[in-house]
Structure 1
Amino acid sequence: MVQETRILHTADTHLGYRQYHSEVRRQDFFKAFETVIKDAIDMQVDAVVHAGDLFDSRNPTLEDLLETMNVLSRLKVANIPFFGIVGNHESKQSTQWLDLFEEMGLAGRLGKAPKMVGDVAIYGIDSVPKSKIPLYDYSGFEIPESLPENCRKLLVMHQIMPPSPYPDWDCAEVIENLPFKADAILLGDYHEYEKIKVGESWVTYSGSTERNSASEKEPRSYSIITLSGEGLEISRRTIPTRNFLFITAKVYGEEKPFEQIFSAVNEHLEEIPESVVFLDVSGDSGSVLSFSEIEEYLLSKGALVAKVKDARIKEGIPEEVIKVAFHDPDRAVAEELRRMSLNDGGLIVDEVIRSPDVPRSRVDEETENRLLGLIEAIDFKDPDFMIKIPVSHVSPVDPSSSVSSIESSGSVSSIESSGSVSPIDSVSTVSPSSPSSSAIIKEPEELKPPGAAEEIENPKPAGVTEFTAAVAAKSETLMPPVRIQRSESLNESLNKIFEKHDVVPESPETAGSIAGSVETAVEDEISKVTPDSGVITAPQSSSPVSFSDNSQTGFSAISPPESIPSPEILKENSEADADEKPVDGKLSEEKPVGVPDKATKTVKQSHRKGKEKSAVPRQYNLGDYL
């Protein structure tokens, strides 16, 4: 003779849920759970099975844990086992709260190994995310040989399945793939009571023990599963819970709308106390209502929670505006990624973060490994490898400006001088907007003596014809127009110019001769640039060159010196050099007296800004950096 076994099936208790921010509602959820446990003890059932979502959160408060342990301890005293699975609300990454209760002897966690209740074997499957349902592994279920010959088998799950109206998992598929015959599947996650038969197996939802939303209008319940020689029987038991009261008030015209609403509320004065009240206002939309005033009136009548909804038809709103459309979230994500125009690295990061196969704890490691693989696959030595930069619009530049400009597509660089006095303020190369292909040399206005030439034009091309044409065509890829390979002659000429310029001219005639020599020397060096090769020769030196971005101005420039020495220092240097001046009248090429020897003595950074600053500018090796 088969022994009769009775199992209480409950689910979705959502302990700790502070609904509507009310502490009273949090206590209501515990009271409903206590009612279920009390009935189990009174009926002396053989076991209590919980089908997931014991807690509303994966991080319940200490108060919630203590109260739950207190309720479960009553079952332990009555020698009634409590078995459960993990729901989607309470699921943690590793150790679950059920594991804690199992260590304390208050509960048992169901899995692929059966828990025996008499001659009934109970299995369990924790909540499976929707994206992982097709990948679920049905292997691993244990079927001990010691099971009784007529052993009944139950499977507990927490999924949306038929008879739910919006199933994520097919019951027939589960029953077909199980390695054992399931007499019944006890479900959780759907908060309404349901019962259907799929093949030879019963599939049932017990419903939630408390209302989690206003849409759950049916009474709350749990189920009793009775297994005997006559078969399997499922019965439903309802639970007394707090009243949810729904009131409808219609407003006609614009006169005295509050009186009409309060009149509808007064018809339910006996039901309002200690109830959760939902008031729907319908009718004419002409008057403006204050929801807070209506809610205060409901609370004054004893309502625990008051919620007001304005369901009146709004005039002047097109019907299509209030239509609701649902789109595929995966398609929306794909469209957003396409709009963002991510590169390969960005797509890899997005794929790793949204992949259901990568645990959260391994997102950083997996992303790093994938990106390293991408970088290793790139051949940076490939001559065709380039980085494309967005093109900026070419703006015309005044060729008479004291700062030279080369308009390039999306790239601007500036070479700044940190030396002392320089006789050359800037060298202006050809601008695309300039009508002539010439280079202009100018002197600083502070050092330009009276009578000196204003500017001298170099009739020869500047050597950037191809680069200028590319800029004019708004090329999308930035390519360097020229490259400095060696420039010994340029550096030697500049050294001579700088040494000659250490002596301050004392007369207009002397000043004119020095200015002429400066202009002639630099003109000769610039004229060496050929338009075909686009190569500027420059001397090799170990002096640093600093580059700075000047994207707002849109040109490359050789900046003027940071400071100009005072006339007193220039005069002292000129007098010292005058004593050593050769008879033939040529300027001495020796180092000025006022310049310290850098090879034997290091000049501190702070000294460079004072009177000890040399009047001779530093030499720059442009070829090492461009």
Structure 2
Amino acid sequence: MAKVSFIHASDIHLGHRQFNLEQRFQDFGLAFKQVVDTALARKVDFVLIGGDFFHKRAIDAETLRQAMELLTPLKEAGIPVVAIEGNHDKAFYQEKSSWLNLLNALGYIKLLKPVYRDGKVALAGWDREEGGCILEEQGIRIIGLGYLGATTAQRLEEIAGELAFWAGDKGEKPFTVLLLHAAVDRMLGQDLGGVKKEILDSYRGQVDYIALGHIHARQEIDDWVYNPGSLENCHIDEAKEGREKGFYYVTVNGLEKKVEYIPASPRRVCILPIDITGSANPAEVREKIWQELRKAEVEKLDEPIVQIVLKGEIEFSSLAIDVAALTKEIREGTQSLYVEVQNHANLPAENMEGKDRSMMTRAEIERQVLKQLVGRQHPAYRHFADELVGLVIKVKEASLNGEPARELIAEIEKLACELPEEDLSADMVAAAGGIPAVEGGEGVEDSENQAAEH
């Protein structure tokens, strides 16, 4: 097989009018244009999209037009775009087609989707009209499963044995890519409802490159599992230090690969935690804010997004700080595109786990709230808090995505058998839909998924 190259990108989120700003709609389009331009310049053989091409299941005409205009140069250059659905652009459970199906029918992309036989996923060859989840491009086999939600682990186990029966054109195993919209627990640092790495390990020797989407920051495991991150910041907190965004340029020669990470160029986000301890009045708070803004040289940035988090102890009421007036003044004074001021003054600086609350993601805060509920309402289950919370997250995810409840019944029953004697209240599961509103951004699964925000 001659040397083959491809780009692996994910979580494009076209159509996202963040903060209800038209410029942010354009920003997400410009971010994907960088991928398109790179693909054309390097003359890649194909492009992989790991899900969430669109920000919402129900897109408007302007978003569809933008998508078609961005994909047209690749189509004209004969560069196939192989895509899967993510949780944001997947069709609702009761519907058959998503907007990606339309792009597939029009020839802009090749949409890979699972085929089910007798209730199980089957590896069916891709056809533009009939669908399917497996195809070959330039001798490289691509298996696309998309977003499987709470059933991901089960579905991966179902098809693991089938791969051995799929040989290449010459009867030998080709370089194989698994395209999946899912998180991996090891990437998350804890069990947050993702796929356990042990399940992926069963694919070693059969899959050479696992191409993920879903988590909005660059993450890699063992030079084998790759998650590029989103191209733009779908939430402000995604811009925190160390959270890279970009896409991969991959070259393959036989079964050997070389992976290059190409950083994206999202709009600059400036996050400023400001300690206002000791401020005597709102005027002193204002002065401290401007000192930090000048120190960060925010005015030199090109229309950035600015988030200011006020924290610390003050002697006067924190309600005396006019957040709306500060927001307007800072936006105009720094020529920022968007400014958000969070007033956490006189609030506990740390949560029960010793982590600065202002630097926590929405998913981390939600997880903490649920663990607190377990401890307070079901003390006997305290040692099972992580398992219970992980299950609640899966239930929430399945509910928001319209998945059938039967997929989770076995897992719920298994955990229930392991719990000590105490009635497992429905309150625990109901809590997934009743988490207090918090400030923050995207985690494993956004609690505002129905508003198409993850």
Pairwise same-fold verdict (TM > 0.5): yes
Corresponding position of 1:235: 260
- 1-structure distance, mates of 2:257, 2:228: 16
Which residue number in structure 2 is paired with residue 58 of structure 1? Answer: 57
- Residues paired across the two proteins, number: 337
Taking the aligned partners of 1:360 and 1:215, their CA distance within structure 2 comes to 28
Q: Equivalences for 1:220-231 in 2 at 5 Å?
A: 220-229=245-254, 231=256
2:182 to 142, 151, 159: 159
Greater shift in the superposed pair: 92-101 or 28-37: 92-101
Q: CA deviation at 1:247?
A: 2.8
Alpha-carbon distance in structure 2 between the residues aligned to 1:208 and 1:181:
27
CA contact (8 A) 1:285 1:314 kept: no
- Give the corresponding residue for 2:338: 305
* CA deviation vs aligned residue, 1:110-129 (integer Å, no higher than 9, x gap): 25333222221111112111
Larger Rg: 1 or 2? 1
User: 1 CA distance for matches of 2:46 and 2:171?
Assistant: 18
Deviation beyond 4 Å, 4+ runs, structure 1: 139-142, 322-325, 328-332, 353-357, 359-363
Using a 3 Å threshold, how does the CA distance of structure 1 residues 328 and 66 change in structure 2: closer, same or farther? same
The structure-2 alpha-carbon separation of the partners of 1:246 and 1:163, relative to structure 1 and needing over 3 Å to count, comes to closer
Checking the alignment, whether the CA contact within 8 Å between 1:175 and 1:182 is kept in structure 2 is no
Distance 1:209 1:361 in 2: 28
Distance 1:362 1:175, change over 3 A: closer
**Aligned-residue CA RMSD in angstroms?**
3.5
The runs of 5 or more residues in structure 1 that have no matched partner are 336-352, 364-626
Alpha carbons 1:245, 1:272 under 8 Å: kept? no
Q: Which has the higher contact order (CA 8 A, sep 6+)?
A: 2
Residue type of the alignment partner of 2:177:
L
Give CA-to-partner distance per residue, 1:315-346, whole Å, 9 cap, x none.
9xx999x99753379989x99xxxxxxxxxxx
Q: TM-score, normalised by structure 1?
A: 0.49
Aligned to 1:377: none
2:123 maps to 1:121 = no
Deviation, structure 1 residue 54? 0.5
Per-residue deviation at 1:101? 1.3
2:324 to 273, 292, 295: 292
Q: Of 103, 106, 112, which aligns to 1:104?
A: 106
Structure 1 residues 12-27: aligned runs within 5 Å: 12-27=11-26
The residue correspondences of 1:474-553 to structure 2 (distance < 5 A) are: none
SS of 1:270's equivalent in the other structure is helix
- Where structure 2 has 5 or more consecutive residues not aligned to the other structure, the ranges are 114-122, 126-133, 358-364, 379-394, 406-454
1:278, distance to aligned residue in structure 2 (A):
1.0
> SS of the counterpart of 2:236?
coil
The residue number in structure 2 matching 1:176 is: 202
Equivalent residue for 2:271, pick from 204, 227, 246: 246
Distance (Å, rounded) in 2 between the aligned partners of 1:151 and 1:319:
50
Q: Which has the higher helix share?
A: 2
CA distance in 1, matches of 2:55, 2:259: 27
Deviation at 1:56, TM superposition (A): 1.0
- TM-score, normalised by the number of residues in structure 2: 0.66
SS of the residue corresponding to residue 327 of structure 1 reads helix
Q: What letter corresponds to residue 172 of structure 1 in structure 2?
A: E
Cα distance in 1 for residues equivalent to 2:86 and 2:235: 18
Question: CA deviation digits over 1:185-243, x for unaligned, max 9?
Answer: 1111111112222xxx7111111111112222234210012111471121100122211
Change (3 A) 1:131 1:285: farther
1:214 correspondence with 2:236? yes
Alpha carbons 1:82, 1:107 under 8 Å: kept: yes
* Aligned equivalent of 1:204: 226
CA distance in 2, matches of 1:14, 1:100: 17
Match of 1:564 in 2: none
Q: Distance in 2 between matches of 1:192 and 1:147?
A: 38
Q: Tell me which amino acid in the other structure corresponds to 1:117.
A: E
1:175 and 1:181 in contact (8 A); partners too:
no
CA distance in 2, matches of 1:102, 1:119: 21
CA contact (8 A) 1:98 1:108 kept: no
Q: Percent identity?
A: 21
Alpha-carbon spacing, 1:266–1:147, altered in 2? closer, same or farther (3 Å): same
